[in-house]
Structure 1
Amino acid sequence: MYGYYRVAAAVNTTTVANPAKNAEEILALVKESETKEVSVVVFPELTLTGYTASDLFLNQTLLTAQNDALENILNHTEKINTIIVLGIALLEADRLYNCAVILQRGKILGVVPKSYLPNKKEFYEKRQFVTGRDIVRTTTELLGKEVPFGVDLLFSDGADMTFGVEICEDLWAVTPPSNHMASNGANLLLNLSASNELIGKHEYREELVRTQSARCMAAYVYTSSGVGESTTDTVYGGHAIISEYGTTLVQNQRFRMDSHLITADVDLEKLRWLRINESSYSDGRRKKTRTVKIENLPKISEIQREITPAPFVPSVYTDKQQRCDEIVHIQAYGLIKRMQHTNIQKAVIGISGGLDSTLALLSTWRAFEIMGWDSRNIIAVTMPGFGTTSRTKKNAVTLCKALGTTLKEVDITDISLKEFEAIGHDKDEHSVTYENVQARARTSILMNMANKEGGLVIGTGDLSEIALGWSTYNGDHMSMYALNSGIPKTLIKYVIEYFKSNEKIASVIDDILATPISPELLPHNHDKITQETEEIVGPYELHDFFLYHFIKYGAKPRKIQYLALLAFGDKYDKVTVTKWLKLFLKRFFTQQFKRSCMPDGPKVGTISLSPRADWKMPSDAEMNVWLKELEA
């Protein structure tokens, strides 16, 4: 399933010091996990005995009962492919270790000891257990079998999953063992815990798990002991959390009286390739580890995870004002630095009444507002041509007047006709030449006007257009500072909406957002737009989706196609998605030459196509391998 695995965090009803009864609850959750196609299910710390057994761990009877219960679990899971991770106390070399035991199909794959033992306030583990942090490259005997034992163990299916295990306090340590596991290839981290409840502790715990998943560029499954633990001095709420690369996918409701589990589908293939794209991960120090091979993991029949159709747009839970403020400030301060460095006081912008020029104007206006500069030094130029409609022109003029900019109009019709005549082009032949002559005329006017006024030409083209090469080479492709170059079309709409809080421009912004996207280069039909960009190159929401997954982690075309169908549901069928994905790939490869010489512009999100920043690609690379993969 394109690198997706289903993982589970289980919280079993615990009866302290009764391993046989605990085993019944464990087996019920294991069977539920198998039914739900879970690859790995993780249980709380010291699952079979209960974490709060305290000095009973020093009693032979309890350990014997624990091992009997463990053997019973093995006997009942011989035909279950799901990996089971339980907490046990292990007697080895006359020392007692707090461990995780990893099981599959009735066999013990390995045992991992806890490295950091809390010994303060309500926790005194060193009274019963010893640390296992120095145990490497060794084995132990458990239930009559010799099995791998140590903190150097990783477990891999030989495909996209490699997991490592740490236990409770290990995560709270200055250098968690999971750091080293991740540096050695573990992209799934598991934690068996017994973390008691204190006021506000659950929030810190979730933040710790989430941030560790980000730091390790991994998925992290955490589960903690529930309310069945002893309440002599502390209370346990059974907190379960699954996070992936800085985002918490799911967490449970604490203080439940029943045995339960939570599941999430994690994209381990994506995590592997994200790491390849991050030099900080590659620089991580590797240690000697042992890898245990796991086989026959359950396969997901259908991904049960929301795939956002707008990966560049913040989620509904994000504070929109704060996020948009940040985006606009990145743009504004990038422009401020450029203008101060060049000792230029004026900005020159071509205004069409479309989305891109609107955002460029608004962000430039914000830069001037921040610095207390006169907005009349923003020279907004409308350049109507053969396809300009009264609607877009009116919106452009209304916006410029409301912001107090200097507004100029230069009609490019006569200029374009003279250019057609000069190169011998028939004005009635509406070819690419017909369109590009107008685009270059506009750019030439802006450049010359900037020279005359002592200004800086602000580029308006966005990241989506740059990806598709939807610009005229040395026309709108060029500027003196490409302000929108780090923002895709779907995000531009989102940011423009944020400016509606300014009542003076709210109504005109509404109409700009409702206007079809068009370069307006072909003659209009009775003042109606005849050239809609998305009918020619496809929906920008699809192209932004393709761009994100293609660049962010190098996803294969078939995976992009599959995820798009999940994300957009019934809005686009497979034929439609495939059609526009093919066009995206073709244009992305053939239009690289434009990106190779694009002007400076600020990176805003995690993706940039600047050849000086994120994206270095030969202009003559073949696309056939990608097209064949999609068609396979």
Structure 2
Amino acid sequence: MRYGFIKVAAATPDIRVADCEYNRREIACRMKTAAKEGAKLLVLPELCITGYTCGDLFLQQRLLQGAQDALKELCRESEGLDLLTLVGAPVRYAGKLYNCAVAIHRGKLLGVVPKTFLPNYNEFYEKRHFTCAPKENGVVHLCGQTVVFGTKLLFQCEQIPEFCLAAEICEDLWAPIPPSSAHASAGATVIANLSASDETVGKDSYRRQLVIGQSARLVCGYLYADAGEGESTTDMVFAGHNLIAENGQLLGQSRLFENSLLVTELDVQKLEGERRRLTTFPASGGTEYTVIPFSLTVEDTTLSRKIDPLPFIPSDSLHRESRCEDILSIQSLGLKKRLDHSRSKTAVIGISGGLDSTLALLVAARAMDKLGRPRSDIIAVTMPGLGTTRRTKSNAEVLAQRLGADLQRIDITRAVMNHFEDIGHDAQQKDVTFENAQARERTQILMDIANRTEGLVVGTGDLSELALGWATYNGDQMSMYGVNASVPKTLIRHIVRYEAEKIGDNQLKKVLFDILDTPVSPELLPAKEGEISQKTEEIVGPYELHDFFLYYGIRWGFAPQKVLKLAVCAFDGTYSKDVILHWLNVFYRRFFTQQFKRSCMPDGPKIGSVSLSPRGDWRMPSDACWDLWVDGLE
């Protein structure tokens, strides 16, 4: 439960229709198994104490008494379990019968939630036996206890208030305005659905879409527990299709026609944080709701859900290819608009033979194609300097030539050495002045060529570099349009690979793959025996770690300790906890101290959910302190 992770379960017990004692034993077994698995919440199917398909037996006093006896015994068996259970049962209230979700916790009934929308069409005839939920809450006497009865109930964990549960039942989700919409507006972060949805061809897909969609719309965790084998097969078959989703992402689903226990974790801190960020999500103000507190033991939650070490990159190859194509389209359309609007005659790009400038050049080529202009309107400038290797220089030149750009070669060595002499800098002193002077000389050249050709400078820096401030201020940090500004380094590699694999030019393909194999480097320090001596990831840390920190620490706003926990899980076997901790400290210090570079960054197209544009997604003072973040880690 620490860091907001709640282990939850949806289960389909084996039942016998109208055999309440048998069903009680099976439900108790599922409760004990779920608790043993570490679950703090268990959701069971609709009317599972009696069976959903009892028909007119629901009018029998004996069945209703059997259901209440079973509930009473389940309460007793829950006393030693650190578990909140929602079980489906028929409940009498105010002289009528209701199809209900009953909340059981440590020997007590916490509340009873009746079903709002009763289907009475096709194979369903619930209105024959049950009454729709009343509009207002009341109290019911059940199993020797006085319990709150109504749909406006919130069950809130005292130890982790972000864990706030509400319930709806089966058809409620199919309604035009499900009760869960009001529940979430009132503050519920987790919705439980107790269901008995019979199976027909294709219904599982529709059901899954409903659950995923509702979890996204409400920014909540959604647990759907479905009836399965054991229900009457007179005219219906039930498949036990259990589903757990979180904010539009399916965390798990059971196989059809297998009565099973589905267990995973919900991140309620993440859900509440996202609701705070979304200004259109209403403030929790359910004054008509009754909040029922309950207590759970706070302990570490063993994560079974996958924590992807590369959160920006889809794991599925088809999805990844589609993502790469979409990004290239967004980048090229953004550049196309800027070129067209500014009536620029050229697009000027400094190419180094590295990944970032390669992607920028590929994007510029697409933009020119969309404009119906020759690619020779792209001026690709290679500017070898004091650290340039033959490999990157050759790759840059071949790349530009094969793409049809106007290639220009300008060696900056003499200009930089003259500059050192002008400012009185010893060229043997390989410090920040030695490095940044080269970066600024290159930017000056690009800007002046753009002026001379009535063009604009296309920036090549990426999102990861912006986060770390790994750019020379008023050097490669500056351009007239930064096409890569919202693309993280880990994703750039996949986009370039995508283009390489689909390109028809074998020579160009060979160069692109060689660029992919080249270490990331600004090449501002002299090479050693012709090889790159300055490798970025040895200096600022692995980009796969920094992109992970950026995604969870900045996009989701997680506390540093939680980011560390997730990173340790995601990179288990790749990086030790100490290594991750070291680079996480580096990330926060650099992120805070380098904001001034982002505060005046040029325009660039927003690509995904993470952007550091000071005009768009990220507004941060350049002089903010990082102590709270780093001290928490130390």
Separation in structure 2 between the aligned mates of residue 110 and residue 165 of structure 1, nearest angstrom: 10
Matched, 1:235 2:237: yes
1:544 matched residue in structure 2: 547
Separation in structure 2 between the aligned mates of residue 218 and residue 117 of structure 1, nearest angstrom: 24
1:164 matched residue in structure 2: 166
Q: Are residues 410 and 620 of structure 1, via their aligned partners in 2, closer, same or farther at CA, if it must alter by over 3 Å?
A: same
Matched, 1:225 2:227: yes
Match of 2:194 among 187, 192, 195: 192
Separation in structure 2 between the aligned mates of residue 621 and residue 246 of structure 1, nearest angstrom: 34
Separation in structure 2 between the aligned mates of residue 217 and residue 372 of structure 1, nearest angstrom: 43
Alpha carbons 2:254, 2:260 under 8 Å: kept: no
Please give the secondary structure, in 2, of the residue aligned with 1:208: helix
Separation in structure 2 between the aligned mates of residue 358 and residue 183 of structure 1, nearest angstrom: 47
State the 1:299 CA deviation.
3.7
Separation in structure 2 between the aligned mates of residue 425 and residue 126 of structure 1, nearest angstrom: 88
Alpha carbons 1:116, 1:133 under 8 Å: kept: no
State the 1:503 CA deviation.
3.4
What is the TM-score when the length of structure 2 is the normalising length? Answer: 0.97
1:99 matched residue in structure 2: 100
The code of the aligned residue for 1:92 comes to Y
Alpha carbons 2:187, 2:286 under 8 Å: kept: no
Please give the secondary structure, in 2, of the residue aligned with 1:548: helix
Please give the secondary structure, in 1, of the residue aligned with 2:471: coil
State the 1:155 CA deviation.
0.7
State the 1:372 CA deviation.
2.3
1:205 matched residue in structure 2: 207
Alpha carbons 2:458, 2:479 under 8 Å: kept: yes
The code of the aligned residue for 1:375 comes to R
Separation in structure 1 between the aligned mates of residue 405 and residue 345 of structure 2, nearest angstrom: 13
Matched, 1:627 2:624: no
Taking the TM superposition and a 5 Å limit, the aligned residue runs for 1:245-256 are 245-256=247-258
State the 1:316 CA deviation.
2.0
Deviates more, 1:60-69 or 1:180-189: 180-189
User: Residues 564-623 of structure 1, C-alpha deviation per residue, up to 9 Å, x if partnerless?
Assistant: 111011211111111111111110000001111110001101010001111011110111
Matched, 1:350 2:353: no
2:367 matched residue in structure 1: 367
State the 1:143 CA deviation.
1.3
How many residues get paired? 628
Please give the secondary structure, in 2, of the residue aligned with 1:204: helix
2:531 matched residue in structure 1: 528
User: Residues 511-542 of structure 1, C-alpha deviation per residue, up to 9 Å, x if partnerless?
Assistant: 11110100000111121101000111000000
Match of 1:578 among 569, 578, 581: 581
Alpha carbons 2:240, 2:260 under 8 Å: kept: no
1:64 matched residue in structure 2: 65
Matched, 1:553 2:538: no
Match of 1:509 among 507, 512, 517: 512
User: Residues 109-163 of structure 1, C-alpha deviation per residue, up to 9 Å, x if partnerless?
Assistant: 0011111111111111111111115132x21111121111111101111313111
Please give the secondary structure, in 2, of the residue aligned with 1:243: strand
Match of 2:597 among 575, 578, 594: 594
Separation in structure 2 between the aligned mates of residue 231 and residue 589 of structure 1, nearest angstrom: 63
Q: Are residues 161 and 201 of structure 1, via their aligned partners in 2, closer, same or farther at CA, if it must alter by over 3 Å?
A: same
1:18 matched residue in structure 2: 19
Q: Are residues 485 and 75 of structure 1, via their aligned partners in 2, closer, same or farther at CA, if it must alter by over 3 Å?
A: same
Matched, 1:75 2:68: no
The code of the aligned residue for 1:126 comes to K
Alpha carbons 1:114, 1:133 under 8 Å: kept: no
Please give the secondary structure, in 2, of the residue aligned with 1:139: strand
The code of the aligned residue for 1:164 comes to A
What is the TM-score when the length of structure 1 is the normalising length? Answer: 0.98
Alpha carbons 2:313, 2:320 under 8 Å: kept: no
Q: Are residues 300 and 117 of structure 1, via their aligned partners in 2, closer, same or farther at CA, if it must alter by over 3 Å?
A: farther
The code of the aligned residue for 1:506 comes to K
Q: Are residues 135 and 313 of structure 1, via their aligned partners in 2, closer, same or farther at CA, if it must alter by over 3 Å?
A: same
2:7 matched residue in structure 1: 6
The code of the aligned residue for 1:281 comes to F
1:388 matched residue in structure 2: 388
Alpha carbons 2:466, 2:485 under 8 Å: kept: yes
State the 1:288 CA deviation.
2.7
Matched, 1:183 2:185: yes
1:609 matched residue in structure 2: 612
Separation in structure 2 between the aligned mates of residue 300 and residue 135 of structure 1, nearest angstrom: 38
Deviates more, 1:71-80 or 1:512-521: 71-80
Alpha carbons 1:84, 1:104 under 8 Å: kept: yes
1:155 matched residue in structure 2: 155
Q: Are residues 134 and 323 of structure 1, via their aligned partners in 2, closer, same or farther at CA, if it must alter by over 3 Å?
A: same
Separation in structure 1 between the aligned mates of residue 437 and residue 286 of structure 2, nearest angstrom: 57
**Unaligned 5+ residue runs, structure 1?**
none
Deviates more, 1:433-442 or 1:179-188: 179-188
User: Residues 155-211 of structure 1, C-alpha deviation per residue, up to 9 Å, x if partnerless?
Assistant: 111313111111001111111111111122211111000111111000110111011
**Unaligned 5+ residue runs, structure 2?**
none
Please give the secondary structure, in 2, of the residue aligned with 1:498: helix
Alpha-carbon RMSD across the aligned residues, in angstroms, is 1.3
Taking the TM superposition and a 5 Å limit, the aligned residue runs for 1:411-490 are 411-490=411-490
Please give the secondary structure, in 2, of the residue aligned with 1:626: helix
User: Residues 454-511 of structure 1, C-alpha deviation per residue, up to 9 Å, x if partnerless?
Assistant: 1111000000000000001111010000100000100111111100110322211111
The code of the aligned residue for 2:526 comes to P
Please give the secondary structure, in 1, of the residue aligned with 2:573: helix
Alpha carbons 2:336, 2:370 under 8 Å: kept: no
Identical residues among aligned pairs (%): 49
State the 1:336 CA deviation.
1.0
Separation in structure 2 between the aligned mates of residue 132 and residue 441 of structure 1, nearest angstrom: 73
Please give the secondary structure, in 2, of the residue aligned with 1:545: helix
Separation in structure 2 between the aligned mates of residue 567 and residue 117 of structure 1, nearest angstrom: 44
Please give the secondary structure, in 2, of the residue aligned with 1:222: strand
Alpha carbons 1:227, 1:255 under 8 Å: kept: yes
Deviates more, 1:48-57 or 1:295-304: 295-304
Please give the secondary structure, in 2, of the residue aligned with 1:255: coil
Write out the 4+ residue segments of structure 1 that deviate beyond 6 Å after TM superposition. Answer: none
User: Residues 354-394 of structure 1, C-alpha deviation per residue, up to 9 Å, x if partnerless?
Assistant: 01001111111112223322111011000000000010011
Deviates more, 1:313-322 or 1:471-480: 313-322
State the 1:297 CA deviation.
4.3
Deviates more, 1:143-152 or 1:460-469: 143-152
Deviates more, 1:38-47 or 1:276-285: 276-285
State the 1:80 CA deviation.
1.0
The code of the aligned residue for 1:219 comes to G
Separation in structure 2 between the aligned mates of residue 353 and residue 66 of structure 1, nearest angstrom: 73
2:339 matched residue in structure 1: 339
Separation in structure 1 between the aligned mates of residue 225 and residue 41 of structure 2, nearest angstrom: 13
State the 1:231 CA deviation.
1.4
